[in-house]
């Protein structure tokens, strides 16, 4: 059997993944569970893809055999989708702009009082953010079992936004109790290491099982048939997802990571700058002449 150790670098580990072995499938699922513990801030561009655009171009839907091999080269967005640029800081800060710099959304209430939330006295009110609780890790510090926590990313548009930043819906919170066909939330039909936009990623062709429960049922990461997904190795983010079958073939998203764990001030997200006066600078005090 193949074995992985924590002191192996990403390239060495990913080079072991060349088929859908039990260990390879487990590696993919652990990566899908790991996003909340892999980064605090993320700067990225995301593009939505409409199957009608691909139909107009006369493009054929890729099959399982060609989808992986066609994408092993470093791939960038093909320009057919609507692009957005975003900055997110866990747990609740988000700024979204168009690619030409027009502000669309900003979480202006990140400094508001949370008193009303806690007074509601629900059990969920007292769950800790994921980064304050410890999951069960495997030998290479990927998450094997997620603890109960206040999961969820700041959302723009619909729940698919949160799902692509934390694609746990492709793996479930923990391994199944007994490995049998169709026991997991998705079946992994093929698995490979790829270089996507200059970053290491795991690419899989998957199909949902009956137990698949998307974060947003109206906007799942994968379609009812086969889908091609790519999970970034460093962040655990779903950087690409596209349906391969049915009328929605070609629909999905691509995400280009521009920065990880960069320092982001509150001013990037709030409506009005909270900067205080720098008292080291001279403050003029204009005086009016005294009139008798």
| pLDDT (tens digit per residue) in 200-221 | 999 999 999 999 999 999 999 9
- Residue 198: predicted pLDDT: 95
Please indicate, yes or no, if residue 185 is contained in any of the structural domains. Answer: yes
User: What is the helix (H) or strand (E) element at residue 54, kind and residue range?
Assistant: helix 51-57
Q: Answer whether residue 242 shows pLDDT above 50.
A: yes
Residue 59 has pLDDT above 50, yes or no: no
What confidence category does residue 71 fall into, taking pLDDT thresholds of 50, 70 and 90? Answer: very low
Per the domain annotation, does 180 fall within a domain?
yes
Residue 276 lies in a domain: no
By DSSP bridging, strand 41-49 and strand 252-260 are: antiparallel
The answer as to whether 291 is a domain residue is no
Q: Is residue 284 part of a domain?
A: no
Cα(186)–Cα(212) distance, integer angstroms: 6
Residue 244 pLDDT greater than 90, yes or no: yes
Answer yes or no: is 23 within a domain: yes
Range of the structural domain that residue 259 is part of: 10-268
Do 74 and 254 touch, CB atoms closer than 8 A?
A: no
Q: Whole-angstrom Cα distance, residue 206 to residue 241?
A: 10
Q: How confident is the model at residue 270 (pLDDT cuts 50, 70, 90)?
A: confident
- For the chain, how many structural domains are there in total? 1
- With respect to residue 90, please indicate whether it lies within any of the assigned structural domains: yes
Residue 117: inside a domain: yes
């Amino acid at each position: 059997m193949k074995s992985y150790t924590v002191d192996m670098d990403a390239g060495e580990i990913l080079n072991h993944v060349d088929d859908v072995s039990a260990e390879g499938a487990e590696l993919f699922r652990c990566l899908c569970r790991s996003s909340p513990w892999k980064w605090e801030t993320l700067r990225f561009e995301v593009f939505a893809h409409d199957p009608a655009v691909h139909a107009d171009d006369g493009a054929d839907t890729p099959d399982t055999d060609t989808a992986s091999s066609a994408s092993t080269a470093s791939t960038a967005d093909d320009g057919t989708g609507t692009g957005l640029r975003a900055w997110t800081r866990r747990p609740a800060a988000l700024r979204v702009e168009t690619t030409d710099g027009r502000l669309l959304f900003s979480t202006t209430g990140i400094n508001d009082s949370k008193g009303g939330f806690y007074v509601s006295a629900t059990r969920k009110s007292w769950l800790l953010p994921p980064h304050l609780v410890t999951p069960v890790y495997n030998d290479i510090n990927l998450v094997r079992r997620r603890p109960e926590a206040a999961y969820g990313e700041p959302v723009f548009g619909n729940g698919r936004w949160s799902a692509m930043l934390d694609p746990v819906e492709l793996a479930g919170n923990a391994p199944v109790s007994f490995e049998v066909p169709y026991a997991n939330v998705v079946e992994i039909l093929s698995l490979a290491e790829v270089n996507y936009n200059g970053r290491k990623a795991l690419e899989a062709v998957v199909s949902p099982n009956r137990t698949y429960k998307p974060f947003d049922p109206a906007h799942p990461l994968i379609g009812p048939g086969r889908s091609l997904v790519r999970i970034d190795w460093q962040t655990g983010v779903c950087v690409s997802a596209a349906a391969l079958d049915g009328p929605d073939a070609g629909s999905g998203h691509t995400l280009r990571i521009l920065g990880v764990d960069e320092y982001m001030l509150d001013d990037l997200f709030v409506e009005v700058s909270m900067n205080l006066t720098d008292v080291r600078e001279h403050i003029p005090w204009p005086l009016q002449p005294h009139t008798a």
